[in-house]
Structure 1
Amino acid sequence: MWRLFLLGFLATASAQIPSLGWCPDFQAMANFNMNRFLGTWYEAERYFTVSELGTRCVTTHYTATPEGRILITNEITNSITGFKRIMEGHLQMVGREGEGRVMVKYSSAPLPYDFEYSILDTDYDTYAVMWACSGIGPVHTQNTWLLTRDRLPSLAVMQNAYAVLDRYKISRTFFQKTNQADCTILPAPAATSELSKSADVVEPVEVQEKEVEQVVEKRVADVEVKPSEPELRSAVPDMKEEAKPMQVPELIMSESENKETIEKIEKIEMKQPIEAAPEIKDTPAQ
């Protein structure tokens, strides 16, 4: 009896729905294409889980490496603190070939562990239904997730997912909707600090660039205006310099002519005899 109680307690603590009996024999999706399944999926609804109490914006990323490995990253945001918890691992296909059964091995959790689940159905573009079950003896635990490509799926998409649950006779009694509202404004704390630091660094640089551009524009404007001023001022002296050559020759010619006339006059005076002054005779006094 205590073993059943312990199994039930462990099942509840592991965030699954405990039930009596053996696991149902649900067949995973046949002809499953993992390459089409890669990408981002958002958790729309899930079975009640203790580990996800008070969480929101649950997102799963499936990516393929060049070596052929499939990596999985789960992002879970705390609704109260806003902190984002990230679980990383890798998965591998198990079961029959082409069957949608996968084994996920998480390595970033406090304690590494393996987790197996089946993809019951998906159209790869809008919805996916995943289911897991594990049991010991007459007690088993189940968990089911409804994933969608859109963070806020339409009613038609959810109706297609519900049809898969009805086909496998999976009860929706313990389903809870995952809060996916306003998830884009809840970045990881590390990203927030990096954004704040980058903002502190970028803003002064932008201001300095603007100031430099203003100084350069002013200097360019001054350079463009200053050359035009000497051109206007040099127009007046140029006119005076052109007038001077016309006046200087006239003055020079007049002076030479004056010199020639003076020389001629001197020559003429030298040729003319100088008249002797009349002699003054003394007259006797009477």
Structure 2
Amino acid sequence: MWQIFVLALLGSAAAQIPSLGWCPDFQPMANFSMNRFLGTWYEAERYFTVSELASRCVTTNYVSTPEGRILVANEIINYLTGVKRVMEGSLQMIGREGEGRIMVKYSSLPLPYDYEYSILDTDYDSFAVMWSCSGLGPVHTQSAWLLTRDRLAAANIMQRAYAVLDKYKISRAFFVKTSQADCTVLPDPAASPISGKNSGLVNEAAKELDEIEIPASEPVKASEIPQNKLPVKASEPEVKAQQVPEIILSESEKIEAEKEKSAGPVVEVQPKVAEKLKEKEPVKAKQS
């Protein structure tokens, strides 16, 4: 009989931590404010469960709608495949007014599923401790979660959460850390913007491009390559040396010129200079 109860309890509790006896009478947090609890929470640690054995980067989002409803979305990334799974549902407050007791109804599962949680304590800004217990006769199973606002919480924040567990005498022996590192989500093919008819058009266009034959380019000969020639400047006219008028020398001037020629380089004598030289030279008697 006990074995039947244990097997039924484990099957319904998704391999949570089973214990003998009735569920502990843990009182949820008083004066709980759901509006301050809204937002994103990251799972830092949890009780061991087989259903979340290969999960990482677990995130829970609580959103309030204009109609006053509170929606819940649990995002879990598979550790082996990298694919993200989302469990969606709605939340409602239960129990006495002002206490942190909530009921979540999951609608994205194959069958609707209700789960009751208790918020044992939270400061709304850094940590929260959630606890759940379900019993079947004298056997019960417990679940617990440590949530943080930061994906990687500081050590002092985790110490505050551990203090809540110690206050309620909840054993930390079965807690496992949730990996929140490298939380890159692979793109979902179903969420691709190119889908349906558009994807068919894209595929047809790609097929047509594949069928187009592009002729192979032939090697270009060096003689066919146009060469950039620099513009040639027009040849400038050659400057011709000015012709010096021939100087007519007298017999004495010729003799002096011959002497100068034999003594050194010939120096051109302008007509006016020659006349001055002629005036200075003594007049020689003409030979008869």
TM-score (norm 2): 0.65
Partners of 1:194 and 1:123 in 2: CA distance = 41
Matched residues in 2 for 1:159 and 1:142: separation? 21
Counterparts of 1:76 and 1:9, CA distance in 2: 22
Report deviation, 1:3.
Answer: 2.1
Residue equivalent to 2:10: 9
Deviation at residue 110 of structure 1 after TM alignment: 1.3
Equivalences for residues 16-55 of structure 1 within 5 A: 16-55=16-55
Note the aligned Cα RMSD (angstroms): 2.2
By how many angstroms is 1:10 displaced? 1.7
Unmatched runs of 5 consecutive residues or more in structure 1: 202-286
Give ranges in structure 2 of 5+ residues lacking alignment. Answer: 203-288
Alignment of 1:4-153 (within 5 A): 4-10=5-11, 14-153=14-153
Distance of aligned partners of 1:159 and 1:191 in 2 relative to their CA distance in 1, 3 Å threshold: farther
Q: Is the 8 A contact 2:129 2:164 kept in 1?
A: yes
Report the 3-state secondary structure (helix = DSSP H, G, I; strand = E; otherwise coil) of the residue aligned with 1:51: helix
**What is aligned with 1:189?**
188
**Once the 2 structures are TM-superposed, how far is the Cα of residue 153 of structure 1 from its aligned partner?**
0.4
Tell me the amino acid that sits aligned with residue 186 of structure 1: V
CA contact (8 A) 1:84 1:188 kept: no
Please say if residues 94 and 102 of structure 1, whose CA atoms lie closer than 8 Å, have aligned partners that are also in contact.
yes
Residues 11, 17 of structure 1: 8 Å contact kept: no
* 1:208 corresponding residue in structure 2: none
By percentage of residues, which structure has more helix?
A: 1
Q: Matched residues, percent identical? A: 71
Q: What amino acid is aligned across from residue 76 of structure 1 in structure 2?
A: I
Deviation by residue 1:156-184 (Cα, 9 ceiling, x = unmatched)? 1100000000000000010000000011x
Contact 2:9 2:135 in 1 (8 A): no
Return the offset for 1:194.
4.7
Contact 1:16 1:47 in 2 (8 A): yes
Amino acid at match of 2:185: L
Q: Please report the TM-score for the alignment, with normalisation by the length of structure 1.
A: 0.65
**Cα distance in 2 between the residues matched to 1:96 and 1:48:** 30
Superposed CA offset, 1:80-126 (max 9, x none):
11111100000100000000000000000111110001000000000
